[in-house]
Amino acid sequence: MENAVSRPALSVNRVSHFVRYWWQRLLHNLPQKFLALLLAFALWFVATEDRRASIQQNFNVAVDVRDTTGGSEKRAVSGLNPASVIVTLSGSRQRLAALNASDIQAFVDITDLPDGEFSRTVRVVGPDATRSLKVAPTVAQGRIDAELSRTQPVILSVTAPPSDSVPRYVLAPRQVTVSGPSQVVGTVERVITEPVTLSQGNQTEARLLALDAKGKTVDVRLTPSSITVDRIDSGNLPIRSVPVRLSGVPSNLSVLSSNVEPSTVRLIGPAETLARISSVTASVVYRPGTFSAQPSLVLPDGVRALDRVTVQLTVAAK
């Protein structure tokens, strides 16, 4: 019984001794310890000041158009100017270094505006822990129009084929949908592929371009934006290059100068017929003066030319 009483007393003494020991250790040189802690905090504060400092940074951000106007008619915007703005954000160096332009929203809201020209203030929404200071320019302009969609055939554009073959291609799909503001869609004359270089039996994905009458790219939406091109010809077809000769000149006229471009043409047809052809005749309608023409070629049955001939002539009367 005596041992049972003495053991708890001994345990309490040990705990008391432990607490008293560490309390004395804590109070030992307390001013020096407190000064060391303040010094460490000051060093940390100075070392991290650059990270906490607020800086400014510019971002080139694309301008978006928001339109929540109700109604059954779809609307589109053309001629948005500017298409992007410079946004100045402030924030910590570490925060701004982690940002991309795509993390920032710059937009104009055209909800309930009537069709036609518009001018609206560009609004900016920056990411968390940043503040938008400035946007330049502050106003974006454009035109609201009814959206138009129409189908358009695709024209294949290829690099010059080899002279000993006639390539054949299959396009999928052969038509695409052109969508955008009605005035812009109306300027699209043709939809072509980017130039394709494809060997026999191969396939590629070709991006599409919408062009106007002058061959300039038109900013519209193409669905799909690319097509699949298959080259399906196999083997080489009989082709022969022969010189071009001009047809006879009437007796009352004289040719002062002539230029044939190209001077040789590629012919395709049965091998036996091609072997007998040494040249082809370009049938020209002569008249006094200086002029250019695209004459027809006199060819045997079953033979066709792969090149178009142009002649420049200066003709005088005798």
Q: For residue range 295-310, list pLDDT tens digits in order.
A: 999 998 888 888 899 9
pLDDT at 26: 67
220/107 Cα distance (integer angstroms): 20
CA distance 178 to 76: 13
pTM of the model: 0.50
Letter for the amino acid at 51? R
pLDDT attached to residue 1: 47
Q: How much of the chain, in percent, has pLDDT values that exceed 70?
A: 85
As a CATH number, domain 239-317 is: 2.170.120.40
Please state the domain extents for the chain.
Answer: 2-47, 53-146, 156-231, 239-317
Q: Does domain 53-146 have CATH number 3.40.50.300?
A: no
Least confident range from 17-21, 139-143, 210-214: namely 17-21
More confident residue, 148 or 200: 148
The least confident of 3-12, 18-27, 63-72, 160-169 is: 3-12
The whole-number average pLDDT for the span 268-289 is: 90
Judged against a pLDDT cut of 70, whether residue 10 lies above it is answered with no
pLDDT tens for residues 112-126? 898 899 999 999 998
* Equal fold, 53-146 vs 239-317: yes
| pLDDT tens digits for range 25-64 | 766 776 776 777 777 776 766 665 555 567 888 999 999 9
